[in-house]
Structure 1
């Protein structure tokens, strides 16, 4: 059996689509379709059921993927990594949300590019959860940090860390409330405080209001800044209140530039996942970055 046909088959099985598999393999869609038909003729059994959107593996297809994929992945690892201990410089393409990448992820990986670390060069891209997962699936990224767990078999993900969200404001705003006013009065106490968020839809405030106050969010934001670091700067300057990750505002809290307006018994959390394309995690430059991030995340609580 031709290994090239098996590689194409496993890629289609993971991608769930001839079109997506073709992009990952650098082939045309007709070429992928032809290779799958050739393999099906050799086996005498259909491997996929064609649907309006994508394909679904048959039971024979699932069994073949289960048996073949680990061996193909091992061959790819050998081919990509080679047997030379003096491995060439490899580029790791990493994507995720800009603030979390800047404050957490990239500092944890700087050792990879040092003289005493493995030969890895970092290239980063920023984007929303949907954008980075689409880029990972299309082969543009090697690893992705995302707040949404991917579905399907093409991408796999493990939990990286949980991010605690805090309701914060500058002291001059907090000083307008009596002690315990927000805890006892709820969201209504905050009606006259301007809100700062990253989008008109108030994603951070909306989630906090729903989780903590069981109430709809404020009607609109007084200031929109599409980067949480800019939101932090505006709130420190007195623009109003915001919901921010603890890791981003903990220094401002420690210095007294910000204060928390409420300390709920169970604060809202957002989970980050570390995602990778199936069959690539064993590649040396991806594996070492994956390991370093998981190790670093243990101290991000």
Structure 2
């Protein structure tokens, strides 16, 4: 049914409800003559008289009453459905799938989203912990979390953390009796705990920086993990030096369980960002997650 036919029926219902062309016209914001013309045109299309008109009143005919009984419940159902869509806007629903490194999941996503989700019971959040760089479009994720300099062009990115400094640390039990590394090349004489971001990829080269010098150092050691938390455990257990976000190392540095080396070579990376394809931004559920995670200084 075309939009003008729907509006004609709505006009008829308003006249039937008010029992007056004058009052109905005022409610609809049209002239009385225009409203009369609309009702006559509707009656002509249906081939039925819908209203009985006298000089003092207007009342539905038998056909008009039947139309009211059939149409009003359907219009009310449509109004309820439209209202439910408005409620979705205010109370987003659906699943938001996010791929993220474990560090971001533990320190940012969980603390913030665990407070958000109970407020929106119909919101579901799926977090996939993956150390490698994931194609969120091909793998059907709504969003991903990576350092700001790792995000592909064409993606919308929202900062969710401050800049992140990296550190190289070792346990006192490991460093005892060993010469401390003074330059990156000294790392070759040490046992180092490695990360591998993908089963098909190589071991991660430690990214070091001093002034304008940038180095990628491939280290060797007996342990390799694809998660940062076993790396921390191995370092605490004295298996070697480890490269990690300073935020994760600080509690152990303050307690004396870890100590830093090569401080002047440890870089700072642009903070973690939530990124997503631009067309996904209109999703109310994703918008809610974005605002919950957005970093505010």
Gaps of 5+ in 2: 1-81
Residues 279-298 of structure 1 correspond to what in structure 2 (within 5 A)? 279-294=279-294, 297-298=295-296
Is the aligned partner of 1:193 residue 2:197?
no
- TM alignment of 1:148-297, pairs within 5 A: 148-152=150-154, 155-161=155-161, 162-176=163-177, 182=181, 185-199=182-196, 201-205=202-206, 207-208=207-208, 217-218=217-218, 220-264=220-264, 267-269=267-269, 271-294=271-294, 297=295
1:110 to 106, 114, 122: 114
Q: Specify the SS of the correspondent of 1:82.
A: helix
| TM-score normalised per structure 2 | 0.60
Q: In the alignment, what sits opposite 1:4?
A: none
1:91 counterpart residue number: 95
Specify the SS of the correspondent of 2:173.
helix
Distance 1:266 1:87, change over 3 A: closer
Considering only CA atoms, is the larger Rg found in Structure 1 or Structure 2? 2
Q: Alpha carbon RMSD of aligned pairs, Å?
A: 3.3
TM-fit CA distance, 1:298: 3.8
Cα displacement (A) at 1:204: 4.9
Give the 3 Å change call, closer, same or farther, for CA 231–204 of structure 1 in structure 2: farther
**Cα distance, 1:187 vs. partner?**
2.6
Equivalent-residue separation in structure 2 for 1:214 and 1:150 (angstroms): 22
**Which whole-Å CA distance do the structure 2 matches of 1:209 and 1:220 have between them?**
19
**Long gaps (5+) in structure 1:** 1-78
- How far apart in 2 are the matches of 1:213 and 1:193? 22
Deviation at 1:217, TM superposition (A): 2.2
Q: TM-score, normalised by structure 1?
A: 0.59
- Tell me the CA shift for residue 271 of structure 1: 3.8
**C-alpha deviations, 1:103-160, integer Å up to 9, x for none?**
322221111222x4564221111224532xx2x32372222112321223xx322333
Give distance in 1, aligned partners of 2:266 and 2:170: 19
My pick for the range that moved more, 223-232 or 191-200, is 191-200
Cα deviation, 1:12-56, whole Å, max 9, x if unaligned, reads: xxxxxxxxxxxxxxxxxxxxxxxxxxxxxxxxxxxxxxxxxxxxx
Q: Is the 8 A contact 2:96 2:286 kept in 1?
A: yes
**Mapped partners of 1:188, 1:230: distance in 2:** 25
Per the TM alignment, residue 282 of structure 1 is displaced from its structure 2 partner at its CA by: 3.1
Call closer, same or farther: CA 1:163–1:118 in 2, change over 3 Å.
Answer: farther
